Structure 1
Amino acid sequence: MTRILFAAAALILTACSDSESTNSAPTATADQAERRSGVLLYRQYCVNCHGSGAAGAPQVGKHNRLYWSHEVEEEGFETLVQEAIHGINAMPPRGNCYDCSDQEIRNAVIYMLQLSAAK
């Protein structure tokens, strides 16, 4: 009788843990994607070149406000986003963040423009 109760308890616990792990995996992935803000992506990917001007990348910062303001005015915001998505010159597509969504790339561009005080 004790063996039967022990086996039944083990089956119930196994069934509960299987359903919990199945349900929690998509939630963790969705939560993780929501947390990848423009700030996070800039710090992880963009700053490598746009922080130092490596490979000819235009630097981000208030000291380059006129450059970024001119880019927005002349090229347009959507063009900047598309260049970030598809790459331009030495910049690889998506700044090497191949699992970034278009919206996440857009958020990174917005953050870079904010850092540069672009108008």
Structure 2
Amino acid sequence: MIRILLPAAALLLAACSDNDSSSNAPTASAEPAERSGALLYRQYCVTCHGSGAAGAPRVGKENRLYWSHEVEEEGFETLVQEAIHGINAMPPRGNCYDCSDQEIRNAVIYMLQLSAAK
């Protein structure tokens, strides 16, 4: 009788385990979460745009007029495209080669917000 109960008990315990394949855990095929503009700015952009290295326009409220003028004259979409494709000494995507276009857009928006651009 014990021989019959042991396999049944094992099946019962296996059914109660935490290894339920129908859980809401992310799978390998799930897309990675979109990174914020703030995160990307700190990881990639601040190196040049924080110091003005290689002629990069500095980010900050003291540079509001520069960034506001850029948005007004060039347009927001042009700024995003320049960030994606690179311009002057700036490499494409600011060296964030695994950044999506939307993530680059988020970084540009964040930089404009930091600069209080209108």
Structure 1 residue aligned with 2:108: 109
Structure 2 residue aligned with 1:33: 33
Structure 1 residue aligned with 2:66: 67
From the superposition, tell whether residues 98 and 69 of structure 1 become closer, same or farther in structure 2 (CA, over 3 Å): same
- The code of the aligned residue for 2:98 comes to D
SS in 1 for 2:33: helix
Across the aligned residues of Structure 1 and Structure 2, the Cα RMSD in angstroms comes to 2.6
TM-score by length of 2: 0.77
Structure 1: gaps of 5 or more residues: none
Structure 1 residue aligned with 2:79: 80
Overall identity of the aligned pairs, in %: 78
Q: CA deviation at 1:80?
A: 0.0
> Greater share of helix residues, 1 or 2?
1
Q: CA deviation at 1:24?
A: 4.2
CA distance in 1, matches of 2:68, 2:84: 20
| Residues 48-71 of structure 1 deviation map (CA, whole Å, 9 limit, x = unaligned) | 100000111000001111100010
Q: CA deviation at 1:33?
A: 2.1
TM-score by length of 1: 0.77
CA distance in 2, matches of 1:26, 1:83: 35
- The code of the aligned residue for 2:77 comes to E
Q: Mark the structure with the bigger radius of gyration.
A: 2
From the superposition, tell whether residues 55 and 29 of structure 1 become closer, same or farther in structure 2 (CA, over 3 Å): farther
CA distance in 1, matches of 2:71, 2:41: 18
Tell me the matched-pair count.
114
CA distance in 2, matches of 1:83, 1:57: 12
**How is 1:34-49 mapped onto 2 (pairs within 5 angstroms)?**
34=34, 36-49=35-48
CA distance in 2, matches of 1:65, 1:90: 22
Q: Which runs of 4+ in 1 moved over 4 A?
A: 16-20
